[in-house]
Amino acid sequence: MAFHKSFQPLLLVALIFFPFCTPIDTITPIQSVRDGETLISAGEKFVLGFCCPGNSSTNRYVGIWYNKIKDQTIVWIANRENPVRNSSGVLTIMGGNLVLLDGGHNNSIILWSANVSSSTMVNNSSATLTDSGNLVLKDGDQRTLWESFDYPTNTHLPRMKLGFKKRTGLNRILTSWKSADDPAPGEFSLGLDPQGVPQYFLRRGSDRIWRSGSWNGQRLIGVPAMNEDSNLFYWSYVTDDDEIYLMYITSLTIRFVLDDSGVYQRLIWNDNTSRWNLKPVATQDSCDRYGNCGTYGSCDSNRAVVCECLRGFEPKTPSDWKLGGWSGGCMRKRSLDCDGKGDGFLRLANVKLPDTSRSRVEPGLNLEACKEECLKNCNCTAYASANVSQGDHGCLMWDGELVDLRVYSDGGQDIYVRVAASKLDGSAIEYSRGLQGKKKLLVTLLTIIAGLLLFVLCGYCWWRKAKGGEMNERHDTVLSDNDIEENGKGSELLLFNVSVIAAATNNFSESNFLGKGGFGPVYKGQLPNGQVIAVKRLSKTSTQGIKEFKNEVTLIAKLQHRNLVRLLGYGISGQEKILIYEYLRNKSLDSIIFDQKRSAMLDWRKRFSIIMGIARGILYLHEDSRFRIIHRDLKVSNILLDDDLDPKISDFGMARIFGRNQAQANTNRVVGTYGYMSPEYAMDGRFSVKSDAFSFGVILLEIISGKRNNYYWDCCSSNLIGHVWEKWKEDRAMEVVDSSLINISPFRTEVLRCFQIGLLCVQEKAKDRPNMSSVVVMLGNETIMPSPMQPAFCFGKENCSDHQIVGCSKNEVTMTKMEAR
């Protein structure tokens, strides 16, 4: 910019006395933002400027991001669908409207506009970036014409209203990005549905995949985490004549993001680690999927078979229900009596109330009045309290079928479902009055029965010990359905007829063969309802006996985690023992990472995601499930990959249940796989959570290197552990990284952190290894970690030149009483 000579002295004075200027936070008709320039909010919390998300190097977008967070975290983008193809973009105010121009075409092409109507446009408007991350366009009288918070992208920020404006029809909806590099609207969206009693839906296209439930005065019914996070921020739900919205207020740096894979999660910035700590909010298990159990079905992720019909209802299509096709739902066993005298109400506690799209609220009614009101209407199928924060004040009633009802182990709400009184073992009045007495009687009977069973079990264990038997020996008897029922109520699983499984796998044909595990072959099959399954057929010569089969059935049936494979059912016929799993078309992890052609499918970001998923799955087994479980056979071939290449741990035949305070156990029968077993387990039969940590360490190193642990490396290293250890000591660990990983340099720090965690997990002594909770923390945060010590099983081989032995472990592998695979 050229200045007249008469202004030069003034400019010099300004530079001397005012060397620093307050950051500009406002765009005016004479103050534009060009590519390379930025706006900074008054408190310097947010920045607006031009950016290139992810690895997009040519497309330029106007975005808003956090100012003081080193790694650019974008929270809003203006021109999502119309990027600037070069660095000529200009964000300016034209005719009172906020517009993005392509400066390379003489400012003639408008790439994006705030679309302020011509009737409201004025020439003296201005746009200001606030400390909440909101870009606000106002006229000269400071009336708001437009704001970015009304048009969110994939991020919900504090004080941002997520909801519906009744008068204008504006619905503030989150939409995912297409990918990490492309901020154009993706296939997932999260927004308020005002139909009936308002609730939020997560959709894939037009399909509903998750539902928040309605606001009950304290939280959204389907989001228990809102209670858990009450100490972090305050939620405000507002409904009035003008709008309906949800907003949160916090003093922390928190955001909610709908990512490109459809995961809605909460992220909190940790200043100590300089990382985002994330927590999923929606779709955490199968019961979160909308309508998973159909109409009048309840979903409980703690049950072996998650779906069941409500009392007084039965499956509409029993054959589909038995095969896991629950979406068809349930129907009444007996029709309702519309005169109101022959109906009662089934009370369901701790549930996510069903879809409220066809429900209404009657304010001012208590629950008793609500019941009477419901009985007057033949279409009324259920009622519940509309506001639990005011002592069950207000009546929420459903007209029509109940959909998307799930049971919570903690939290939730009570609902009263209308059924024929005969299905309540008496009239509705008798049921409601006698419920507590019946409960007490039932609890007493169950306590007595449990006590007797415990007494018998203790006596049996004492007898077995006195006879010198071992609890873990193999039994070669024929397994019946009753055996499974006695061993953890496995009969709740679907029991398939073996003939049905044979038909589904084309009589176990070679064309359906997927592979062979340690205990027998695995086949692909398709059930009559079209569901594709994986069938594990126990080999008659398999080392897995009846006890291991029971173990796998009863354990997996009770485990529910996104990183554990899902067991659908089992089949038994004489000595034929079959397990039916969900089919994962990408098969096992080893089929990809050890294949030179397929390994390129997994870039570093995906490999790291797989590592995190495996770690979280093991952590769930060790600490977060209803039992403490030691897997004992973790390896890459037991890690399956779903359609999104997310990992699922499988093969629980060798798993063992621990008491919560139990540290380790011993066995005279060591089972497992060479290369993955910890030294204390391989040598002495001692296993613990640290045994699984060792196996995880080997898996981690294999994922990074793309090589098996027993791969022949060089003269100085007999296995992968030894090779990595030697390179680590020489500060050359990056040389071990899989050659199929291209452009790995930007992730060097993360890769080295994973190498260090892997070496920490495979240390010689169990006490030196981290537990899985520490592993998950170390993977997700740049924390200070200890230096790894000498790994186990790190044997050297004869040196090629001088025939000396190079060794890095004082142990010698001598496997006794071993069944290794």
Q: Is 30 helix (H, G, I), strand (E, B) or coil?
A: coil
Alpha-carbon dihedral 548, 550, 553, 554, rounded to 10 degrees: -120
CA dihedral sign, ordered 293, 299, 303, 309:
negative
Q: Exposed, middle or buried: residue 209 (CB in 10 Å: 0-12, 13-18, 19+)?
A: middle
Classified as helix, coil or strand, 499 is helix
Residue with structure tokens 């639990």? 388
Q: Is 746 helix (H, G, I), strand (E, B) or coil?
A: helix
The candidate with the shortest Cα–Cα distance to 254, out of 151, 128, 159, is 159
Residues 6+ apart with CB under 8 A from 719: 675, 709, 710, 711, 713, 793, 794, 795
796: helix, coil or strand? coil
Q: Is 590 exposed, middle or buried (0-12, 13-18, 19+ CB in 10 A)?
A: middle
| Active-site option among 229, 320, 633, 651 | 633
Q: For residue 460, what are the contacts with CB-CB under 8 A and spacing of at least 6? A: none
b/e per residue 659-668 (b: at least 16 CB within 10 A): eeeeeebebe
Query: Where is 689: in which H helix or E strand?
Result: helix 689-705
CA–CA distance, 492 with 759 (Å, rounded to integer):
42
Q: Give CA–CA dist 173/712, Å, rounded.
A: 55
3-state DSSP of 9-22: HHHHHHHHHCCCCC
The number of helices, as runs of H, and strands, as runs of E, in the chain is 15, 47
CA dist 328 and 307 (Å) reads 11
**What is the gyration radius of the CA atoms in the chain, in angstroms?**
31
Structure-token pair, residue 262 = 């459809």
The dihedral region occupied by 35, where left means phi > 0, alpha psi between -120 and 50, and beta the remainder, is beta
What is the CB neighbour count within 10 angstroms for residue 403? Answer: 21
Token pair of 788, please?
Answer: 């790894």
Determine whether 633 is an active site residue: yes
Q: State the Cα–Cα distance between residues 345 and 430, nearest whole angstrom.
A: 11
Determine the Cα–Cα distance for residues 175 and 152; give it in Å rounded to an integer: 8
Tell me how far apart the alpha carbons of residues 397 and 662 are, in angstroms, rounded to a whole number. 49
Cα 93 to Cα 654: distance, rounded to the nearest angstrom: 68
Helix 604-619, helix 772-780: angle, nearest 10 = 150
**What DSSP designation does 215 have?**
B
CA 315 to CA 494: how far, in whole Å?
Answer: 14
Point out the residues that are catalytic. 633
